[in-house]
Structure 1
Amino acid sequence: MPLPFLTADRAYEAAEDVPLPFDDRDRWRRPYRPGPCRVGVAAIALLLASYVLFAAVIIALTGTLTEAGVVFGIALVVIAAALRMLRMGVWVSVRGLRRVGFLGTRTVAWDRIVTVRTVQQPVRWLGLPRTVQGQALTLVRQGRSPEDEKPLLTTHNADFLARPEAFDRAADTIEAWAAESRHG
């Protein structure tokens, strides 16, 4: 089964001189791979789901189908949460920039974006209330002040913790998408 999110970095490494190495720009793409923290948590959740599914089979064989259905439903919720966690991040296409969160997705068209830039500022460590000094990729939309916007990416989120080169590459790529889409 092809896993396209694992090939994102390889495509950018193969085409260092081309800022946007994909021919099909209509397709939504995440210009970076999910970080090891995010993948590790999703893998543990999927491992837990396999145990819960096994428990559902045992309950179905020894207990009632209603109890097995409830446990099977719990396993499906855990699997859906793990897959959603892997899908979280910033995605780009010709149509705009999409921020996929755990519970919601927001899309902003390129013509509504004033600027996308990397700034040095206090950022949240793994999304927790604790802040540390780091870099953030910020988005400024028309009619909004920069303080109203959450950072798109930070050097201390689950995708880029201890991976500054990956953050720089992802930020440069998203900035290149923004520059090309606004001018082209």
Structure 2
Amino acid sequence: MPLPFLTASDSAFDAHDEFDAALPHADHDQWRRPYRPGPWRVAAAALLLLLGSFMLLATVVVAFAGALTGTLVCLGAALLVIGSALRMLRAGVWVSRAGLRRVSFFGTRTVAWSEVTEIRTVQQPVRWLGLPRTVQGQALTAAARSGSALPVLLTDHNADFLSRTEAFDRAADTLEAWAAEYAPAGAAS
């Protein structure tokens, strides 16, 4: 069954001619992720949403049984699982004309382009799927003008780019192009 909304977005993501081709609109003031969420991230979120739907079904069953406390506990747990899935899908690097935003599961850090001094790809040990185990890989790092350490932006072994080296290279090039456009001279290396 053809899904035209997926076809249009796929062609937009596969375009390589300019740095903002990742999304079909060209409004640079909106926050956007310059790459697609990876299959590992989407699969984990889908499993959590499936679990959340079963938990909501259990909430209805408990509600019909007449246990108000159990209903509220089940509903709270289901909402927590669904919220976790949505937060997992939102995690990643976002860019706009205002700056660079690194969204993690528990927090968000935004750095203005005027504070970014360098964005570059380096070979270093990286965490595999965010777990404590490290492997040798590529990481996209950023340096701030204030000298404060910024978290690693992207790695080729995270949930978005595991086994997708071309997608990692394209995302790194896109972020470097954003830095070249909006950061002070010499930010992208």
Cα offset for 1:149?
3.3
For residue 86 of structure 2, what is the aligned residue in structure 1? 83
For residue 151 of structure 1, what is the aligned residue in structure 2? 152
For residue 18 of structure 2, what is the aligned residue in structure 1? 18
Letter in 1 for 2:168: F
For residue 182 of structure 2, what is the aligned residue in structure 1? 181
Give the whole-Å Cα distance in 2 for the aligned partners of 1:130 and 1:73. 32
For residue 73 of structure 1, what is the aligned residue in structure 2? 76
Of residues 104, 114, 118 in structure 1, which corresponds to 2:107? 104
| Residue ranges of structure 1 left out of the alignment (5+ in a row) | none
What secondary structure sits across from 1:20 in the alignment?
coil
Give the whole-Å Cα distance in 1 for the aligned partners of 2:114 and 2:18. 23
Native 8 Å contact 2:113 2:184 kept in 1: no
For residue 34 of structure 2, what is the aligned residue in structure 1? 31
Give the whole-Å Cα distance in 2 for the aligned partners of 1:10 and 1:96. 26
Is the counterpart of residue 121 in structure 1 residue 124 in structure 2?
yes
Give the whole-Å Cα distance in 2 for the aligned partners of 1:70 and 1:25. 42
Letter in 2 for 1:96: G
TM superposition score normalised by structure 2: 0.88
Is the counterpart of residue 132 in structure 1 residue 132 in structure 2?
no
Native 8 Å contact 2:123 2:136 kept in 1: yes
Cα offset for 1:183?
5.0
Matched pairs, number: 177
Q: Which moved more, 1:113-122 or 1:124-133?
A: 124-133
Give the whole-Å Cα distance in 2 for the aligned partners of 1:106 and 1:10. 30
Identity among equivalent positions (%) equals 61
Cα offset for 1:150?
2.5
What secondary structure sits across from 1:149 in the alignment?
coil
What secondary structure sits across from 2:117 in the alignment?
strand
- Structure 1, residues 35-80: CA drift from partner, whole Å, max 9, x if none? 1111111111110011110010011001322211210111001000
Give the whole-Å Cα distance in 1 for the aligned partners of 2:81 and 2:156. 28
Native 8 Å contact 2:117 2:184 kept in 1: no
